[in-house]
Structure 1
Amino acid sequence: MKGIIFDFDGLIFDTETPLYEAYQQLFKEYNAELPLEKFAQIVGTGLDEFHPYRYLEELIGQPVLDEDLDLKIEEYRMEVLGDADLRKGVRDYLDQAKQLELKIALASSSERSWIDRWLAHHKIDHYFSIIRTKDDVHKIKPDPELYEQAVKGLGLKKEDVLVFEDSLNGLTAARRAGLSCVIVPNPITSQLPFEDYQYRLTSMEDIGLVELIRNLNDNQHIQAQ
């Protein structure tokens, strides 16, 4: 193993749970509900396949103004994210990767300005030698382009790179790119039908990075309890 690529939203920093909660609050204002299985369609990707506002319009039978709802969603979410920390074990994994002299990249379907904002906020931007976001590609996850570009940027062969993901769209993108993938679902994605991954963790506190890599090298497919 010579390099690792991290997703961001939901994996490094759980922005997805607060976002779903924000949508839930918004829908309640209209006496409606956004099921988790509906919201899960946009986790790790964009709004092309499913848009919550269009779904809300179907439920209430009238149009809504996207700009007004965007402001409410942002307000709800930022109340939570401003005081939130990174997911458990993330800093340790980044430190261990540096100690192992692994090249570290980030590949996200979000905009670069969003990524830069939170990497700087949590003071972890210096860990990543390569960052690829939706600003760099024609198609985001589950398309493999983000991961293909990240591997190219690292200057490594795909068999020497390990991906960490929390979403089904992210896992699909990694596998389509021919990469090994460890999934670390968050509360929103934990019930998704993950398949074809190399290892599953509940958090990065489950096992150290050195031991994880050793297990992967031994070709073990394990779900940590």
Structure 2
Amino acid sequence: MEKKIKAMTNSVISQEREGWNSEKPTAVIFDFDGLLVDTETCMFKAWEALMKPYGVEVSCAQIAGLVGNSEPATFLYDQYRNASGMDKTDQYIRNQVLKLAYEFIEVISERDGVKQYLDYALEHSMKIGLATSSEYDHYMPILKRLKLDHYFDCFIGEEQVIATRRKPYPDVYLLALQQLGVSAHQAIAFEDSPPGIQAARSAGIPTVVVTNSLTCHLDVSQANIILSSMSEKSLPQLINQLTEISL
């Protein structure tokens, strides 16, 4: 698997050097958490709810630093233990946060503009992929509840990429390109955080970042285009703009 990924990486690097041509893209690849559905703000609300009884304020910037990052929230776990006076394990605290987060996630909808992007891509016979570091049992129930799962031609997640090669490594995007049967210059990646942007750009894919209330605090300047909502600009407008940009 690793040798195959390296070969794919070398291939897209040579494509990137040639630059993105003016050919219209034929595929769109989306991140999931914070991009299609703002689960990341739900995590922030969960941490807020967990810490509030102990008089601890959690900032957006603190949680934003965890977005797209596989590192554990050690400082928050320690903060909870110190404030509560309870000697709970990291896993116990994480489970409490996830339980609260899913209570918020169960009632939210997709982000503004998402449905319009998916409809346009489908109506214009574009291939649609999902490229996430999350597991199937997390993203699929949410997509099914929102009736978005049928749009996608491929799903690449935690199960398809070895743990040490998740974002910001490009593997998840390289596998999505392979399954969709397109090259990097034929696709557009949509992300919301620096690790995701790095993964997509390392795969040679032009990248649009759509920030949320957390990731707007992060440096997303490496993306080709920056939006705060998909409703700001239609997909055909983005496509036209990207064809004028040279990587």
Whether TM-score is above 0.5 comes out as yes
Per-residue CA distance 1:51-75 (angstroms, 9 max, x = gap): 3554436855874233432343233
| Structure 1 runs not aligned, ≥5 long | none
Q: Distance in 2 between matches of 1:52 and 1:36?
A: 14
**1:85 corresponds to 2:109:** yes
Out of 198, 219, 222, the residue aligned to residue 245 of structure 2 is: 219
Out of 206, 223, 226, the residue aligned to residue 180 of structure 1 is: 206
Q: Distance in 2 between matches of 1:62 and 1:10?
A: 31
Of the structure 1 ranges 88-97 and 160-169, higher mean CA displacement relative to structure 2 is found in 160-169
Based on CA coordinates, which of the two structures has the bigger radius of gyration? 2
TM-score normalised per structure 2: 0.81
Aligned match of 1:3: 27
- Quick one: higher RCO (CA 8 Å, sep 6+), 1 or 2? 2
Contact 2:81 2:88 in 1 (8 A): no
Equivalence map 1:62-141=2 (5 Å): 63-138=87-162, 139-141=165-167
The 1:8–1:98 alpha-carbon spacing in structure 2 relative to 1, beyond 3 Å, is: same
Secondary structure in 1 matching 2:173: helix
Aligned match of 1:170: 196
State the superposition RMSD in angstroms: 2.2
Contact 2:77 2:90 in 1 (8 A): no
Contact 2:51 2:80 in 1 (8 A): no
Aligned match of 1:149: 175
Q: Distance in 2 between matches of 1:220 and 1:206?
A: 22
Per-residue CA distance 1:145-171 (angstroms, 9 max, x = gap): 111111111111111111001111111
Structure having the higher helix fraction is 2
Q: Residue 104 of structure 2 aligns to which amino acid in structure 1? A: V
How many residues are paired up?
220
Of the structure 1 ranges 76-85 and 127-136, higher mean CA displacement relative to structure 2 is found in 76-85
Equivalence map 1:38-49=2 (5 Å): 38-48=62-72
Q: Residue 166 of structure 2 aligns to which amino acid in structure 1? A: I
| Structure 2 runs not aligned, ≥5 long | 1-24
Aligned-pair identity in percent equals: 33
Contact 1:39 1:52 in 2 (8 A): no
Q: Distance in 2 between matches of 1:181 and 1:55?
A: 36
Structure 1 position 135, deviation (Å)? 1.1
Q: Distance in 2 between matches of 1:12 and 1:170?
A: 13
Structure 1 position 128, deviation (Å)? 0.7
